[in-house]
Structure 1
Amino acid sequence: MTADGAVDLPQDPVVVLGGGLAGVACAHALGDAGEPVVLVDRNDYHQFQPLLYQVATSQLPAEDVARPHRVIFHKHPTVRVLTAEAVAVDAAAHRVTLGDGTEVAGSHLVLAAGAQPEFFGVPGAAEHAFPLYSVVDAERLRRHLHGLVREHAHAPGTKDAPEPPPGTLDVVVVGGGPTGVETAGAVAELMAALTRTGRLAAPARVVLVDRGTVLLAPFTDAAHHYAHGHLTSVGVEVRLGTGVAAVHAERVELDDGTAIPTRTVVWGGGESAAPIVLGAGVPTGRGGRVDVAADLSVPGLPGVYAVGDAANIPGPDGRTLPQLGSVAQQSGRAAGANVLRERRGVPTEPFRYKDKGIMAMIGRNAAVAEVGHRHHTVEGPVAFAAWLGVHAMLLSGAHSKTDAFLSWAWDYFDRDHSALVEMTDAPHRIAWEDTTADVPHIDPGA
């Protein structure tokens, strides 16, 4: 801060809006080169979205999937992080206005504001469903499930809990993509563990609903069948070709005319760009995302780039790349490299996505992975091990990696571990000596 209270910012910086996978990767690329960067994000942490469902089902503490920006960039003195709400963007001027009226502008602007849940106009979905797109979302869902289970579970060795009203503990998961499949599998295994340990008289009903004809649509037919078979085997009721007509506080209505009593609807039915992008004066396309050129720049707006879930990024075949973590990270690094080229007077280069495959966890010892650009299918224990390794390595920070490995090992060798955590409190991190600096400020009530 300066003497008059204004924000002390570097001269002519690159302004990066959003501190997710794409924004952090972009700031890293520029910070490594010693370029001045101002990264703006409402949260003081970077979150790892692929593991949010594990936070929601008490498998991992929220702190393990959210690492403070100040820790990430502590070795990058040219990267300044501003924890503030962006209320307006003037892309042509490379300017971001913050909630307190402060304006941040620079030589370039990189839009990496991420995504928000897309409810497709379904009545009641925004009010009553639980989306799973942020750490705050995951914590809200975890606390909701925790409260329901604690209220209606039996005490150990007794059967003194009153019978809950129909649907009280039942869960409906909307969406047959990785988020929906992984969440449905994790919830079903949690409910089964609560039943095995005598906390529930019978496992709660878990229903997965999707308008499509298969689960994990981007995967191969073998993966479709494997995912469907495993979810069914652990008690998930899969209803395909069916959409949600309305969501209420204690039931969900489907478009086939049926209704399911439930107080928990998990929404994994789609996403769109963050609202801040829509008012930035940039051309948008599908999902409200920014349509970008091959080098990730925004046509007609020199010095402006869009990456990650905020952008429609063309692939080598001309089709838009999916909203994946690997796409976000690679596009963020590539945009940073192109900004660096422009600042040094060198022509930009087109973004070339390196397709390393896709994977999804379906349950304990069960996963599907399609490896390499040819998407060779692997399933079962081998894919499960690969999923664990890849996601642990993608976590930011040694503490998070270690905690995740230990938590997963505990879950693997003790099938009832998640039930024990659910009946006590949230999972906790190891008490690292420097844990204070490595803990994000997560407010589930935000």
Structure 2
Amino acid sequence: MSAIVPHVVIVGGGFGGLWATRALDAAAVRITLIDRCNHHLFQPLLYQVATAGLSSPDIAAPLRHILRKQRNVEIRLAEVADIDAAGKGIVLDDGTRLDFDYLLLASGATHAYFGHDQWAAHAPGLKTLDDALHLRRHLLLAFERAEAEADPAKRAAWLSFAIVGGGPTGVELAGTLAEIARHTLVNEFRNINPSDARVRLIEAGPRVLSSFPEDLSAKACRQLRKLGVEVSTGKAVTDINECGYQLGDEFIAARTVVWAAGVAASPLARSLGVPLDRAGRVLVNPDLSAPGYPNIFIAGDLASVQQDGKPVPGVAPAAKQMGRHVANAIHARLQDRPAPAFAYKDYGNLATIGRMAAIVHFGRLKLSGVLAWWFWLAAHVFFLIGFRNRLIVLLNWTWAYWSYQRGARIILGSDEAGQVRQDRQP
């Protein structure tokens, strides 16, 4: 550890970690950015990869390429196995120890099955590119299996799709899947009618998109039903197995169940030995430092932050703001100044339901339908990293808008393992 140039270790190349790294570009520090993946992922569009609308390179970019001009950064492709908070060091999965002067943990979240981890084998979630490629393969194969199935009951099970969780991810998946069944795949099969597919969105709470105002939530529900999605609220799934799921007193045969109902913080937080909330997130200090460790900061889905009596949402804009704040806090520490408290600025909430259907909430502004969809599209294209990504995504969406076709529908990989070896646009 250099006594002259402080060493900043950043764990996680997502929104929080990457924005903190870039904000320290001009700082007199040495940065080590650690991630188990070699890319930064634009997670808000992950469902588009899962539903064959986009391919992986459209929403992801190599971290080394993004940071190629930032000379104070070294990137490590590794996973953190342990944290020695008191000794100011971390241990990587290969046994290597890295000492730090400042540490930022921004390792994100994983799926939470509320004590039913056995459901994971039958209801995959959507957090990584691997998840998206696995899910895309499964969704496309479901129609292929239904085409080859002679038994009507088994065929109906292959054409039954359930998305558990009525947040933005669940709504976007349900709406897009209904469009695929009713438009994209029309006239492509001989033994089935893809539009007979049953797409059900299940929310245990009283309404979908509960983070939006009630009137926008109601409009989203109407738009979903117009697309052909069955919306079920107020009733929780109580069991999931390879044959289907239990909803109240009814067991529904379904070969595709997608989990979008809950998240839990990365287990890395437990290595700190500090207070955590029920989701495993660190109850951070106002400046986003960990209790008892002023040189360790937490950002993104790993941080539990309250503002005006409400939790700061686990969304990309919040993670970006936290990353920039941590960079400013480190600047302040280097200059022997107190770090300011984190203040989240809410720039609004967006969700797309389907083609030309979305909702937008920004302060007093509430939009739904076509205008909201154009707003959502512009915002997501604008925030993609890299000109190439923006251009390709815009071209793909333009083509999909006019043709209803989805350009990444190639099925690759091992059927049993559900793994995909390649992800190339045809």
Structure 2 residues without counterparts, runs of 5 or longer: 413-418, 422-426
Q: 2:324 aligns with which of 333, 337, 344?
A: 333
Where in structure 2 are the equivalents of 1:319-358 lying within 5 Å?
319-358=310-349
Aligned-pair Cα RMSD in Å: 2.2
Where in structure 2 are the equivalents of 1:155-194 lying within 5 Å?
165-194=155-184
- Please tell me whether the aligned partners of residues 55 and 408 of structure 2 are also in contact (alpha carbons under 8 angstroms): no
Give a deviation string over 1:122-178, Cα, whole Å, max 9, x none.
363222111011111111100111222234448xxxxx9886533112210000110
Match of 2:218 in 1: 225
Q: Secondary structure at the match of 1:286?
A: coil
Q: Secondary structure at the match of 1:130?
A: coil
Match of 1:75 in 2: 69
Could you list the structure 1 runs, at least 4 aligned residues long, displaced by more than 6 angstroms after superposition.
none
In structure 1, C-alpha distance between the alignment counterparts of 2:99 and 2:378, rounded to whole Å: 40
Q: 2:264 aligns with which of 255, 272, 282?
A: 272
Whether 1:303 aligns to 2:295 is yes
In structure 2, C-alpha distance between the alignment counterparts of 1:399 and 1:120, rounded to whole Å: 40
Match of 1:61 in 2: 55
1:250: how far off? 1.8
Q: Residue type matched to 2:241 in 1?
A: H
Give the 3 Å change call, closer, same or farther, for CA 230–145 of structure 1 in structure 2. same
Whether 1:84 aligns to 2:75 is no
Where in structure 2 are the equivalents of 1:355-370 lying within 5 Å?
355-370=346-361
In structure 2, C-alpha distance between the alignment counterparts of 1:190 and 1:162, rounded to whole Å: 23
Where in structure 2 are the equivalents of 1:344-423 lying within 5 Å?
344-371=335-362, 374-415=363-404, 417-418=405-406, 421-422=408-409
Q: Secondary structure at the match of 1:121?
A: coil
Q: 2:232 aligns with which of 233, 239, 254?
A: 239
1:21: how far off? 0.6
Where in structure 2 are the equivalents of 1:192-203 lying within 5 Å?
192-199=182-189, 200-203=192-195
Where in structure 2 are the equivalents of 1:138-153 lying within 5 Å?
138-153=132-147
Number of residue pairs matched by the alignment: 411
Q: 2:34 aligns with which of 30, 37, 40?
A: 40
1:102: how far off? 0.4
In structure 2, C-alpha distance between the alignment counterparts of 1:375 and 1:197, rounded to whole Å: 44
- Please tell me whether the aligned partners of residues 161 and 254 of structure 2 are also in contact (alpha carbons under 8 angstroms): yes
In structure 1, C-alpha distance between the alignment counterparts of 2:78 and 2:380, rounded to whole Å: 29
- Please tell me whether the aligned partners of residues 91 and 282 of structure 1 are also in contact (alpha carbons under 8 angstroms): no
- Taking structure 1 as the reference length, what is the TM-score of the superposition? 0.87
1:297: how far off? 1.2
1:237: how far off? 0.7
Greater shift in the superposed pair: 273-282 or 217-226: 273-282
1:96: how far off? 1.5
- Please tell me whether the aligned partners of residues 90 and 281 of structure 1 are also in contact (alpha carbons under 8 angstroms): no
Give the 3 Å change call, closer, same or farther, for CA 292–425 of structure 1 in structure 2. same
Q: 1:12 aligns with which of 6, 10, 35?
A: 6
1:399: how far off? 1.3
- Please tell me whether the aligned partners of residues 20 and 327 of structure 2 are also in contact (alpha carbons under 8 angstroms): yes
Q: Secondary structure at the match of 2:289?
A: coil
Match of 1:433 in 2: none
1:421: how far off? 4.8
Give a deviation string over 1:402-442, Cα, whole Å, max 9, x none.
11111111111112x12x753x458xxxxxxxxxxxxxxxx
Greater shift in the superposed pair: 348-357 or 275-284: 275-284
Q: 2:205 aligns with which of 212, 220, 225?
A: 212
In structure 2, C-alpha distance between the alignment counterparts of 1:294 and 1:360, rounded to whole Å: 29
Q: Residue type matched to 1:183 in 2?
A: L
In structure 2, C-alpha distance between the alignment counterparts of 1:11 and 1:84, rounded to whole Å: 23
- Please tell me whether the aligned partners of residues 251 and 263 of structure 1 are also in contact (alpha carbons under 8 angstroms): yes
1:194: how far off? 4.3
Give a deviation string over 1:247-277, Cα, whole Å, max 9, x none.
10121112x1211111111111011101122
Whether 1:259 aligns to 2:257 is no
Q: Residue type matched to 2:61 in 1?
A: R
- Please tell me whether the aligned partners of residues 6 and 29 of structure 2 are also in contact (alpha carbons under 8 angstroms): no
In structure 2, C-alpha distance between the alignment counterparts of 1:375 and 1:271, rounded to whole Å: 29
- Please tell me whether the aligned partners of residues 289 and 296 of structure 2 are also in contact (alpha carbons under 8 angstroms): yes
Q: Secondary structure at the match of 1:166?
A: helix
Q: Residue type matched to 1:168 in 2?
A: W
- Please tell me whether the aligned partners of residues 172 and 264 of structure 1 are also in contact (alpha carbons under 8 angstroms): yes
1:382: how far off? 1.0
1:444: how far off? 5.0
Q: 1:290 aligns with which of 272, 282, 292?
A: 282
Q: Residue type matched to 2:208 in 1?
A: L
- Please tell me whether the aligned partners of residues 130 and 264 of structure 1 are also in contact (alpha carbons under 8 angstroms): no
Q: 1:105 aligns with which of 99, 110, 120?
A: 99
Q: Secondary structure at the match of 1:167?
A: helix
- Please tell me whether the aligned partners of residues 123 and 246 of structure 1 are also in contact (alpha carbons under 8 angstroms): no
- Please tell me whether the aligned partners of residues 201 and 232 of structure 2 are also in contact (alpha carbons under 8 angstroms): yes
- Please tell me whether the aligned partners of residues 5 and 29 of structure 2 are also in contact (alpha carbons under 8 angstroms): no
- Please tell me whether the aligned partners of residues 295 and 349 of structure 1 are also in contact (alpha carbons under 8 angstroms): yes
- Please tell me whether the aligned partners of residues 176 and 210 of structure 1 are also in contact (alpha carbons under 8 angstroms): yes
Q: Residue type matched to 1:305 in 2?
A: F
- Please tell me whether the aligned partners of residues 286 and 312 of structure 1 are also in contact (alpha carbons under 8 angstroms): no
Give the 3 Å change call, closer, same or farther, for CA 233–89 of structure 1 in structure 2. same
